[in-house]
Amino acid sequence: MHIPRAAGILLHPTSLPGRYGIGDLGEAAYRFVDFLSQSGQHYWQILPLGPTGYGDSPYACFSAFAGNPLLIDLDWLAADGDATADDLAQAPPFPEDRVDFGPVITFKQAVLRRAARRFREHGKAELQQAFAEFCAANQSWLEDYALFMALKDTHDGAMWNTWEWELASRQPEAIAEWRERLDDVLFVHKYEQFQFFRQWTELKRYANEHNVQIIGDVPIFVAYDSADVWAHPELFMLDEHRLATAVAGVPPDYFSPTGQLWGNPLYRWEVMAEDGYAWWIARMQQALTMVDLIRLDHFRGFAAYWEVPAGEPTAVNGQWQPGPGEALFHALEAALGELPLIAEDLGHITPDVEALRDQFSLPGMRVLQFAFATDAGNQYLPHNYTPHTVVYTGTHDNDTTKGWFTSRNETEKQATWRYLGPLSEEINWALIRLAYRSVAVLAIVPLQDVLGLGSEARMNTPGRFGQNWSWRFRARDLQAAHWHKLLELVLTYGRQPSAKPQEKPSWM
């Protein structure tokens, strides 16, 4: 896969500005694309776009195929006549700099329910037709997802394994009965998906027209409490009661003496192989309708994954099991052609993982915050990179660069400055410059580092429950100085695959 030497920004859409408590697919998203394009950024990297569940993590979604209704632009619905001025005026005074998920969910769900009802009763004829076409084209996942969400609504959000057994086990008579009984609620969830994909498709088209490609994110595992596991239990390690028999995690290491117990159900890879990995092909096909390039999360799990018996309190008593390896990627390649993937090859990486990555010519990842704790042989130091690499100052799981540097001991701080050389820049810009001047084909920087923010702007702290995924920036935070600095670095280090931009960003 050929990738031109370029640069980009990591920012999840929920972090955009806006008056409805959470970033969405509306005007601020388009203005952010303008900023990217006109500051020489060729890529916008985002996190998974699925509907988030308990904990609000985009890596634990109710579906691997659906979109997050919280991202729907309500002003767009008002322009269509589905939402009213009174609906929008009911928005509480949300904080500007973070997402308060509870009130946001309450407000947006109420508006979306009313909008769906108006659309069903007197929506525009051409949109009614488009809705019918969307439902038909996405029937393979949409019917199960809509029923799953409707049943969750009916059961006060309870996990599907606690529902009546005839529903948890999808007995045909019960499923047919509840489809009819919950028809109005099913329609709401289908309407939300129609509007999400309609709005996302238009935003992606606008980005591509402005020379900005979208890098998406596909988590290797799915949440147990998801339409995917409920609808396809045969594909996961579940017992006769539909409970997980083994779950995902990673083994103990220097950073965590008990490892990490993620709790996701594991795949029955041998069952998936029987139909040529059809579920994975459908999943990746769906993702590639939404983004241009995919960061494949926890890539090492495709070579071998850490299997922990269900019920274990930690990940200590797990064991390595072989993943699907090259068979899965050959199947994906045969169905989808050349694979536009970035391998998230961080953590405990062994030769078999590297061999699988290289066999399919996938670029790996390097994170500069990991580079200065050891010696010159550290693989995250730029002099050890190969060009077929994506370099980050940090990812969504890291502290911001300013926050990270503040927490370093004096030895690591000195090692960092010694490697950087004599510079008058602040540490966030010094690491951005280091990423840009490296041989790595892509340099991706979280917007928090462009803005020079500290730990208060961290997106996620792994292992911490609550207070994650909520950071937002304000429109006034992005200044002309940021545009000038990024464009200067792009041009200095040859990361602009298109002509030099001439316009001042419309954001300013």
Triad 500, 502, 506: Cα angle to 5° = 125
Active-site residue identified among 297, 345, 399, 449: 297
Domain ranges across the chain: 1-215+478-508, 232-341, 363-474
Give the pLDDT confidence of 427-457 residue by residue, as tens digits.
999 999 999 999 999 999 999 999 999 999 9
* Burial letters 157-174, b for 16+ CB under 10 A, else e: eebbbebeeebbbbeeeb
Cα(45)–Cα(59) distance, rounded to whole angstroms? 15
Give first-to-last CA distance, the chain, whole Å. 36
Beta bridge partners of 238: 244
Q: How confident is the model at residue 62 (pLDDT cuts 50, 70, 90)?
A: very high
Q: Which residue has the tokens 């500007």?
A: 96
CB 467 within 8 A of CB 458: no
Q: How confident is the model at residue 180 (pLDDT cuts 50, 70, 90)?
A: very high
Q: What is the pLDDT of residue 466?
A: 77
Beta bridge partners of 216: 294
CATH number, span 1-215+478-508: 3.20.20.80
Give the pLDDT confidence of 7-50 residue by residue, as tens digits.
999 999 999 999 999 999 999 999 999 999 999 999 999 999 99
CB 177 within 8 A of CB 147: no
Cα(216)–Cα(48) distance, rounded to whole angstroms? 7
User: What average pLDDT score do residues 470-480 get?
Assistant: 95
**Interaxial angle between packed helices 183-209 and 125-137, expressed in degrees from 0 to 180 and rounded to the nearest 10:** 90
Q: In residues, how long is the chain?
A: 508
Give the pLDDT confidence of 287-339 residue by residue, as tens digits.
999 999 999 999 999 999 999 999 999 999 999 999 999 999 999 999 999 99
From the list 349, 268, 341, the residue with the least C-alpha distance to 303 is 349
CB 107 within 8 A of CB 74: no
Say how many CA atoms lie within 13 Å of 99 toward its Cβ.
Answer: 31
| H or E element, residue 265 | strand 260-265
Residue type, 194: F
Mean pLDDT lowest for which of 243-252, 486-495, 496-505?
A: 496-505
Residues 6+ apart with CB under 8 A from 214: 43, 44, 45, 46, 204, 207, 208, 290, 291, 292, 293
Element counts in the chain: helices (H) and strands (E): 20, 12
| Residue 397 annotated to the active site | yes
Number of Cβ within 10 Å of residue 69's Cβ equals: 20
User: Does position 501 have pLDDT exceeding 60, yes or no?
Assistant: no
CB 360 within 8 A of CB 332: no
Number of Cβ within 10 Å of residue 67's Cβ equals: 23
Q: What is the pLDDT of residue 324?
A: 98
User: What average pLDDT score do residues 456-466 get?
Assistant: 88
CB 90 within 8 A of CB 81: no
Cα(466)–Cα(161) distance, rounded to whole angstroms? 24
- DSSP string of 315-333, one letter each residue: STT-EEEE--THHHHHHHH
CA distances from 218 to 58, 156, 247, 271, 477 (A): 10, 28, 18, 21, 30
- DSSP string of 359-411, one letter each residue: HTT--EEEEGGGSSSS-TT-TTSGGG--SSEEEES--TTSPPHHHHHHTS-HH
**What is the SS3 assignment for 141-155?**
HHHHHHHHHHHHHHC
Structure tokens at 2: 């050929």
Active-site residue identified among 312, 397, 412, 477: 397
Cα(362)–Cα(299) distance, rounded to whole angstroms? 10
User: Does position 497 have pLDDT exceeding 90, yes or no?
Assistant: no
Residue type, 53: G
Structure tokens at 252: 């103990």
Mean pLDDT lowest for which of 72-76, 325-329, 338-342, 500-504?
A: 500-504
CB 370 within 8 A of CB 323: no
Number of Cβ within 10 Å of residue 396's Cβ equals: 24
Residues 6+ apart with CB under 8 A from 229: 160, 222, 223, 236, 238, 265
Active-site residue identified among 34, 73, 144, 344: 344
User: Does position 505 have pLDDT exceeding 70, yes or no?
Assistant: no
Q: What is the pLDDT of residue 255?
A: 67
Cα(35)–Cα(30) distance, rounded to whole angstroms? 9
CB 149 within 8 A of CB 227: yes
Triad 344, 56, 396: Cα angle to 5° = 35
